[in-house]
């Protein structure tokens, strides 16, 4: 009898341990499922976006993210603009449709918000960054990366100078204008007679590692888009750093950003020289203009999307 009682006791303890282990394993499984669910949700969203794109070859999507704006071009007709306060996170999403219009080689978006409001945006973009200029002077800047890392693209040299620049009607078109990204009508313009062949811009005290330059050429104006074609634009440029590299870049005749990969790191003591070798001639003026320049000091951080290059 004692043996039977002992055997039952042992079986009861073994069964209790099995239940305890099962409960423990259940908790572990739930944690694993929770982690997997987060990944699955993220993947499902991405997969849906991919499937949506596959369903219609003409549709693409791209997000440009900045500190205070997320601009999402869902396809070639619709968009969403999410604005928020970086301190509180409060904000709203505005969606609508748009049509593309090219005037004198300048691209405008004729925007119609779902609420009925119409706007006209001038856009400069490539697969990495985007600048939107509105009629009220407001500016939206974004990159295709993390909201916390848009500082990877900026104007990093501490000093910029040039072999010449134009001063006309008390307006200075100095090389300092190259780092003014939030306004139009602020280009650098060379100041010599002719088309500015061999004129140079010097970028001093800028540390760029595994970097590239994003350049927008020409005279870009929201109110006077014809100034782009009226003035000359760089067609071929040379970028060089003494004792490091010298490369030639052929540029398209567009104000949209064009990326030129730098073949070597640039240190604080280096001087990066941009030299004009050839130009697209203006139909009215010889003056050669460069609208603005960004430097990306960690190329490859952002996923490149060829949305605006097709």
| Tens digit of each residue's pLDDT (9 = 90 or more) over 270-307 | 999 999 999 999 999 999 999 999 998 877 777 777 77
Check pLDDT > 50 for residue 162.
yes
pLDDT band at residue 49 using 50, 70 and 90 as cut-offs: very low
* Stronger pLDDT, 3 or 130, i.e. the higher one: 130
Helix (H) or strand (E) holding 109: strand 106-113
Comparing 162 with 158, the larger pLDDT belongs to 162
Q: Which pLDDT value is given to residue 149?
A: 62
For residue 148, the model assigns a pLDDT of 62
Beta bridge pairs of residue 275: 200, 238
H or E segment and range at residue 218: none
Q: List the chain domain ranges.
A: 1-51, 62-149, 151-296
As assigned by CATH, the class of the 151-296 domain is: mainly beta
- Using the predicted structure, report yes or no on whether residue 7 has a pLDDT greater than 60: no
Q: Would the pTM count as exceeding 0.85?
A: no
Mean pLDDT throughout 249-267?
96
Judge whether 212 and 262 are in contact, CB under 8 Å. yes
Task: State residue 24's pLDDT score.
Answer: 27
Query: What backbone torsions phi and psi does residue 39 show, to the nearest 5 degrees?
Result: -65, -40
| Residue found by looking up tokens 């099962």 in the block | 22
Residue 47 pLDDT more than 70? Answer: no
Answer for the pair 173, 222: CB distance below 8 angstroms, yes or no. no
Is the CB of residue 154 less than 8 Å from the CB of residue 148? Answer: no
Tokens 């499902």, located at residue: 44
Contacts of 172 (CB under 8 A, 6+ apart): 165, 166
247 pLDDT more than 60: yes
For residue 298 the two structure tokens come to 């960690």
Residue 62, class by beta-carbon neighbours within 10 Å (0-12 exposed, 13-18 middle, 19+ buried)? buried
Averaged confidence pLDDT in the chain: 82
Q: What is the pLDDT of residue 278?
A: 98
* Most confident stretch, 3-17, 25-39, 73-87: 73-87
Strand partners, 245: 241
| 208 contacts 262 by C-beta, under 8 angstroms | yes
Rounded to the nearest 10 degrees, how much is the dihedral formed by the CA atoms of 226, 232, 238, 239? Answer: -40
Rounded to an integer, the average pLDDT of 259-270 is 94
Beta bridge partners of 210: none
Task: Tell me: pLDDT of 209 over 90.
Answer: no
Backbone angles phi, psi at 235, to 5 degrees: -105, -40
| Predicted confidence band of residue 151 (pLDDT cuts 50, 70, 90) | low
DSSP 175: G
Cα–Cα distance measured from residue 292 to residue 181, given in angstroms and rounded to the nearest whole number: 7
Q: How high is the pLDDT of residue 150?
A: 61
- Please give the residue that has the higher pLDDT: either 135 or 29: 135
> How is residue 234 written in tokens?
């760089």
- Ranges of beta strands (E only) in the chain are 62-65, 69-73, 78-84, 91-103, 106-113, 118-125, 129-134, 139-143, 153-154, 159-162, 166-168, 171-173, 188-189, 200-204, 212-217, 233-241, 245-250, 258-261, 271-280, 289-296
Query: Of 10-14, 113-117, 160-164, which gets the smallest average pLDDT?
Result: 10-14
Name the nearest CA neighbour of 274 among 175, 169, 142, 127. Answer: 175
245-250 vs 233-241, strand pairing mode? antiparallel
Please give the pLDDT value at position 147.
65
CA-only gyration radius of the chain, Å: 28
Length of the chain: 310
Question: Does residue 144 contact residue 304 with C-beta atoms inside 8 Å?
Answer: yes
Instruction: Give me the mean pLDDT over the 149-175 stretch.
Output: 89
Q: Which own/partner contact pairs does 113-122 have at CB distance under 8 Å and 24+ positions apart? A: 122/184, 122/220, 122/222, 122/225
According to DSSP, the residues that pair with 292 across neighbouring strands are 216
């Amino acid at each position: 009898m004692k043996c039977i009682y002992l055997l039952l006791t042992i079986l009861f303890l073994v069964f209790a341990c099995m239940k305890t282990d099962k409960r423990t394993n259940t908790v572990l499984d739930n944690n694993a499922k929770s982690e997997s669910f987060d990944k699955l949700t993220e993947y499902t969203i991405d997969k849906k976006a991919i499937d949506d794109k596959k369903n219609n070859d003409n549709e693409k999507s791209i997000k440009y993210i900045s500190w205070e704006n997320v601009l999402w071009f869902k396809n070639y007709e619709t968009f969403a603009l999410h604005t928020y306060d970086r301190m509180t996170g409060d904000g709203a999403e505005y969606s609508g449709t748009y049509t593309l219009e090219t005037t004198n080689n300048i691209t405008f978006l004729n925007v119609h918000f779902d609420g009925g409001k119409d706007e006209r945006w001038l856009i400069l973009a490539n697969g990495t960054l985007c600048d939107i200029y509105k009629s009220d002077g407001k500016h939206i800047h974004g990159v295709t990366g993390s909201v916390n890392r848009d500082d990877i693209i900026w104007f990093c040299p501490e000093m910029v100078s040039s072999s010449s620049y134009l001063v006309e009607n008390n307006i200075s078109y100095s090389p300092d204008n190259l780092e003014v990204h939030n306004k139009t009508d602020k280009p650098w313009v060379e100041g010599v007679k002719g088309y500015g062949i061999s004129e140079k811009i010097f970028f001093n005290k800028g540390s760029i590692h595994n970097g590239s330059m994003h350049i927008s050429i020409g005279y870009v104006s929201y109110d006077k888009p014809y100034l782009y074609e009226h003035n000359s634009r760089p067609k071929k440029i040379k970028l060089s750093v003494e004792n490091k590299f010298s490369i030639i870049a052929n540029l398209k005749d567009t104000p949209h950003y064009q990326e030129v990969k730098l073949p070597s790191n640039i240190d604080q003591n280096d001087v990066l020289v941009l030299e004009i070798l050839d130009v697209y001639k203006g139909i009215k003026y010889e003056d050669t203009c460069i609208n603005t320049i960004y430097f990306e000091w960690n190329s490859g951080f952002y996923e490149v999307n060829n949305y605006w290059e097709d």
